[in-house]
Amino acid sequence: MKLTAFDQVLVYGATGPAGAARESVRLAVAAERLGYDRFWVAEHHGATSGCGSPEVLVSAAAAATGTIRVGTASVLLPHYAPLKVATTFNLLERLYPGRIDLGIGRGPGAAEAVTRLLAREGEAPYEEKIEQLLAHVTAGTDLLPDSAPPQLWLTGAGPGGAYLAARHGLPFCLAQFAHGTPRPEIVELYREHFRPGPLGAAPRVAIAVRVACADDPRDVHLMRSGLAWAATASGRRTLPSWDELHTLAPSMSSPDAAPGDMSLLAGVPAEVAERLTALTTAYAPDELAVTAFCPDLGRRIRLFELVRAMVPATGCS
């Protein structure tokens, strides 16, 4: 099974906004060393989201690595002109041929107030923008310099995204971390309705999971506590540092999830491997994309190392 290291480029207190971007590049280098196939960054806007322009970070990560595919999960297409997105990734593909992924989605990727600032009058519907983008990428007209297209993915959390990916013959990445339980019916809808096209001859499915894993269960508890705190805190410009989590932990309510909750795969390696097995059995995916909430870069890299070691044990190839 192919593996993607998926970085949401969160801004933690110890690193700040500049450090978050630099750590993302270091994570890309580590992912390549660990044998990951892809490194993706998310487009999010706001004070605690360090990647409002993912194409910039994609270029930096690709420049720092040599073989791993680098891309987005995902560019928020509703906010942009399809030709501009196609032009940007055409240039990235020319700079790093055969290594660029363009994941697109509908967002929102920002608070409502920020989304309103990004919106433009007279924008075409999302479905129409997808058609325009695909036409630019595949048409080979004089609108873009000659280049092979990036590998396109459509990311989403529900049946609407799955159907659009199937209709246009695109690989589909399902955001499992948005669901408490597996939703194999979404993937089945995608596979059932898939139409081969110029960018995909057969269905291809990735499942995006959020993982909190460490050798020490106390570290797992801190990761879970930090994620639970971040989900309820508002108005803060940075997320807690690792040291701050130690201070905050005694005052936090227990972050224990309900049995069977798959929005976060948490535990020591044996526990996470068991839950990954359950997910891969439910979905039979071609790929797995892993993201994490962990303020400490060393522990974050170790988490991706642990997951890399687990994947062969999931029974998928």
Place of tokens 């790093």: 96
Give the end-to-end CA distance of the chain in Å, rounded to a whole number: 5
Paired tokens of 200: 């995909």
Q: Is cis: bond before 74, omega within 30 of 0?
A: yes
What pLDDT is attached to residue 155? Answer: 97
* Residues 6 or more apart whose Cβ sits within 8 Å of residue 148: 93, 97, 98
Number of domains in the chain: 1
- Residue 104 sits at φ, ψ, to 5 deg, of -120, 155
Strand-strand pairing, 151-156 and 100-105 = parallel
| CATH number where 293 lies | 3.20.20.30
What pLDDT is attached to residue 39? Answer: 98
Q: Is cis: bond before 159, omega within 30 of 0?
A: no
pTM: 0.94
Closest alpha carbon to 265 in 317, 302, 223, 297: 223
What pLDDT is attached to residue 61? Answer: 98
Place of tokens 């107030």: 113
Closest alpha carbon to 118 in 32, 15, 46: 46
- Do 308 and 35 touch, CB atoms closer than 8 A? yes
What pLDDT is attached to residue 1? Answer: 92
Q: How many residues does the chain have?
A: 317
What pLDDT is attached to residue 257? Answer: 54
Strand-strand pairing, 2-7 and 75-76 = unpaired
Task: Name the burial class of residue 158, with classes exposed (0-12), middle (13-18) and buried (19+) by CB atoms within 10 angstroms of its CB.
Answer: middle
What is the per-residue pLDDT across 143-193, written as a single tens digit (0 to 9) for each?
899 999 999 999 999 999 999 999 999 999 999 999 999 999 999 999 999
What pLDDT is attached to residue 90? Answer: 96
Domain that holds residue 263: 2-314
Q: How far apart are CA 84 and CA 222, in angstroms?
A: 41
Residues in the chain with pLDDT < 50? 313-317
What pLDDT is attached to residue 314? Answer: 45
- Do 180 and 263 touch, CB atoms closer than 8 A? yes
